[in-house]
Chain A
Amino acid sequence: MSSTATVTADAKPVVMVIEPEVLVRMSIADFLRECGYKVIEGVMAEDVETVLHSKVVLNVVFAEVKLPGKIDGFALARTLRQTHPDIDVILTSGVAAAAEKSKDLCEEGPMKKPYRAEDVLSQIHSLLERRRSAAKKP
């Protein structure tokens, strides 16, 4: 991945994860932190703009396609490819894709930790299922 090749040995590459569902976001973010990334969390495309207007450097944007607000993942990717071509944009559609692509990103990450996408996915699924069954209790 070209953007991480330019990062110095001391600095962690920075991934911004844009995911509106908190249980998915926290799982993916935690997972990527364990792979050695610094992770910034957001829920909508506008959060990426907030970061880009600051001095914080982003190497990767990892975004769900379906986003709240006016800008979806596709529009975000199109904009970034024009304004910040140095930022790698990874789009996901749904939890299984997010798990798979975060595993790929992990394999390119600084820690070189081998993880299985199935493990991330099952962790997410059990969180979602526990919340679902807790909500059903009288």
Chain B
Amino acid sequence: MEQRAKPTPITAAAPARTVILLVEDDFWTRFSAAETLRVLGYRVIEARDAAEGISVLTAGTQVDVVFSDINMPGELDGLGFAAWLAAYHPRVPLLLTSGLAPPSLPPGAAARSAFIAKPYDLLEVDQRLRSMLVSG
């Protein structure tokens, strides 16, 4: 069950921004995507792999959309993460990305997931995220 993080004095004054959980193992890909998305107005939480993404969500952090690479080291890759999200956070939309051909998604994950190929244009990522959030 998704729980909203309790507002604290630190964040209460800031206007609400859409929160993206960005999951990407490559340092520069993650950094440039995160910074560009912040300039575009998002709050971006950076995770290097599925395990960090799971930590963030399990701790009750408010996340509006997940943007995750597929090929990542660790116990779970992006597809494993998609399956976990479908089971535990089914209402959070997921945009998956990869340099390889789009995968067939695990059952249940397909409904709230979309795919964008690498190398991606961040303005296009912005558009895709916004349309996913609207139709959510």
Contact = CB atoms under 8 A, between A and B. Distances in A.
- Asked if A and B are interacting partners, one says yes
Interface of A: 22-23, 26, 29-31, 33-34, 38, 40-43, 47, 50, 54, 115-116, 119-120, 122-123, 126-128, 130-131, 134-135
Contacts of B28: 50, 54
A138 to B, nearest CB: 14
Contacts of B48: 22, 43
Nearest to A106: B10
Contact of A127 (B11, B35, B52, B60): B60
B58 A135 contact: yes
Contacts of B45: 26
19 contacts: A22-B47, A22-B48, A22-B52, A23-B55, A26-B46, A26-B56, A30-B43, A31-B10, A34-B10, A42-B27, A115-B10, A119-B10, A122-B8, A127-B5, A127-B60, A130-B60, A131-B55, A131-B59, A134-B58
Contacts of A31: 10
A23 B10 contact: no
Given A26-B46, A130-B60, A50 B8 contact: no
Contact of B61 (A115, A119, A120, A127): A127
B27 A50 contact: yes
A130 B56 contact: no
Contacts of A127: 5, 59-61
A123 B10 CA distance: 9
Interface in B2-50: 3, 5-6, 8-11, 14, 27-28, 31, 35, 38, 43, 45-48
B92 to A, nearest CB: 16
Given A22-B56, A29-B46, A131-B55, 15 more contacts: A22-B52, A26-B45, A31-B10, A34-B14, A38-B35, A42-B27, A43-B48, A47-B27, A50-B27, A115-B10, A119-B9, A122-B8, A123-B8, A127-B60, A130-B58
Q: Which of B3, B5, B47, B55 has the most CB of A within 10 A?
A: B55
Nearest to A134: B58
A43 B48 CA distance: 9
Contact of A126 (B6, B9, B11, B14): B6
